[in-house]
Amino acid sequence: MSAAAEPSNAALAESLLAFWADAGVDAMLLDEAVDRIEAGKVLPPVRPAAPVVVAAAPVGRVGTPQPDVSAAVAQAQAAAAAAQDLDALVAAIAAFEGCSLRYEGAATKAVVFRGDPKAPLVVIGEGPGADEDARGEPFVGRAGKLLDRMLAAAGLDNRVLITNTVFWRPPGNRTPSPAEQAVCAPFLERIIALVQPRMLLLAGGASAKALLKREEGILSLRGRWLEWKSADGAMELPAMPTLHPAFLLRQPGAKKRAWQDLLTLTERLDRPGRPD
């Protein structure tokens, strides 16, 4: 039996070039040597600001609803308030047509929540991904499996309800927009009101910014106790922002910080006879 064929020189060269291109190399040889260290000490010239052009609002595709955000928020508020339990709320979300994400590639079934309906902790992520869109449950892909392992290690696996700021998958798994989060916010607040948790864990920057109305990045917000308030001021809960599990998969070295956040949260949740 003959030995496996060796890759051709052309194939090896192509593979090597692809490697360097991925590493950011954009030139093999230059006419003159460049001292990158010295070049980095010189500030680039300030470019004049480009003129601001206000573009007309895009026309929606034929057959794609383009809901007015304020009207959609009002519809969501009415539908959420009418739901007296989580089953009714899930049905209301499934029937809701005011969020444009529903028509931008998501499956017909809304992704609402999973976990204990009476949990002391509600975990809120950003939005469903491809796996969640297919299954109809939040956090069931690779990031969800990591989240489950972390919650189990902290003794929280059977004490949580998990949801997102939006209930339909954004196209290409992009971050949900503030408008999309605003339309879904009445339903999310109703979930919190029906569950009556003691605290919130906000996974990722989009979740933390949307619920806490803050502009800082997640690396500044994580690990800090902050207060979440409902839109009508009737509810107020301690909230802990933390790193999203998808970020931890890309940056494993950051898992230690997320683990510290979970330990801090668990300690507060389990304090005997002490106020939150």
pLDDT in tens, 219-237: 999 999 999 999 999 999 9
The mean of the pLDDT values for the chain is 84
| Helical H segments across 159-223, by residue range | 178-195, 205-212, 218-221
**Which residue from 253, 225, 219 is spatially nearest to 238, judged by alpha carbons?**
225
pLDDT at 34: 56
| Residues across the chain | 276
DSSP class of 235: -
Q: Yes or no: say if 104 and 177 are a contact pair by the CB < 8 Å rule.
A: no
**Which tokens go with 191?**
């979930």
The structure's pTM equals 0.75
Number of Cβ within 10 Å of residue 260's Cβ equals: 13
Predicted confidence band of residue 94 (pLDDT cuts 50, 70, 90): very high
Q: Yes or no: say if 109 and 90 are a contact pair by the CB < 8 Å rule.
A: no
pLDDT of 78 higher than 90: yes
Q: Which residue has the higher pLDDT, 18 or 213?
A: 213
Domains of the chain are 69-269 (3.40.470.10)
Angle at 206 between CA 201 and CA 207, to 5 degrees: 25
Question: 68 burial class (0-12, 13-18, 19+ CB within 10 angstroms)?
Answer: exposed
pLDDT of 268 higher than 50: yes
The tens digit of pLDDT for each residue in 168-185 reads 999 999 999 999 999 999
Mean pLDDT value of segment 261-275? 86
